[in-house]
Amino acid sequence: MIRPRITGTGSAVPEKVLTNFDLEKMVDTTDEWIVTRTGIRERRIAAEGEYTSTFAIAAAERALAAAGVKAEEIDMIVVGTLTPDFPFPATACIVQQALKATNAFCFDLSAACSGFIYALATAQKFILSGQVKKALVIGAEVLSRIVDWNDRNTCLLFGDGAGAVVLEAQEGENGILSTHMHSDGNYWEILYQKGAGSRNPASHKNVDEGLVYLTMQGNEVFKLAVRSMGEVAMEALEANGLTAADVNLFIPHQANQRIVDSVGKRLGITGERVFVNLDRYGNTSAASIPIALDEAVRAGRLKEGDLLLLDAFGGGLTWGSALVRW
């Protein structure tokens, strides 16, 4: 049986660290308030001259090195992001240029914080179709550029960075067992960026009115995230005749510690079986799962044959899961 298998992981984050104590000097908040409500202690912020592609390229290089795959062997590059370098061309094309991955077709995918799961599922389908043998799947964001640093309800949540995986067609039982994706456009207004698109194009007025920044109804997002992530995780397990007890490692989207805890409790997956790094990076949207996955791999948290569950939720609304036999 041919399965798409993750053969290499990589991640990259900015050097600049913004702590909760730094934020205390910028907005009306405290370290205790942030930690209690989110679990976040610090986040990484891109410096001038650093872009989404900066981190996507670095993460991709590390994933390729880990997999022992040359860039010219890659057939497909897909970048999950809501903060591309430009509206067009795709950030994936900029990554291709830097890597000299001349044989790959490239595109970006927009599914907000579910972007990496959606990108992984897309690459999975291309591999299963036989059209692609080796794919580079990246989640990358520079959210600090679309955050209102005067809005304490949102600015403390987000950070920058990228994670990447190399996906290869291989024979055997190990690899991606299944992926599951859902959307509900009825809730698009609870988490979105108002400006910079065709509805509110770039203008002095829209910048002055703050339309270039993301907005979020936190309480609504929380409730929908917990329910949706729990349901789509169970969907993945049930589709493969497995239960939560079979999961060796659970990597949820790193948005908020209370969401992670609530979803884990619903599933019955807690403690050491849940990988969390949001205390150091905050919510990096599409980058959060691949950054966490790379850290887990390099920390020896996964061994061959382990069952890995990935689970995400984002604006759109979008949500999805992937079940992987490592």
Q: Write out pLDDT tens, residues 169-192.
A: 999 999 999 999 999 999 999 999
Show which residues are catalytic: 113, 253, 283
Mean pLDDT of the chain: 97
Give, for 297, the enclosing helix (H) or strand (E). helix 288-298
Q: What is the DSSP letter of 114?
A: G
CA 206 to chain centre: 28
Average pLDDT in the 23-34 region? 96
Please give the single-letter amino acid code of residue 80.
G
**What's the pLDDT tens digit per position in 246-303?**
999 999 999 999 999 999 999 999 999 999 999 999 999 999 999 999 999 999 999 9
What average pLDDT score do residues 161-176 get? Answer: 97
Give one DSSP letter per residue of 216-235, joined into a string.
E-HHHHHHHHHHHHHHHHHH
Contact 254, 277 (CB under 8 A): yes
pLDDT of residue 196: 83
Confidence of residue 208 (pLDDT cuts 50, 70, 90): confident
Any idea what DSSP says for residue 246?
Answer: G
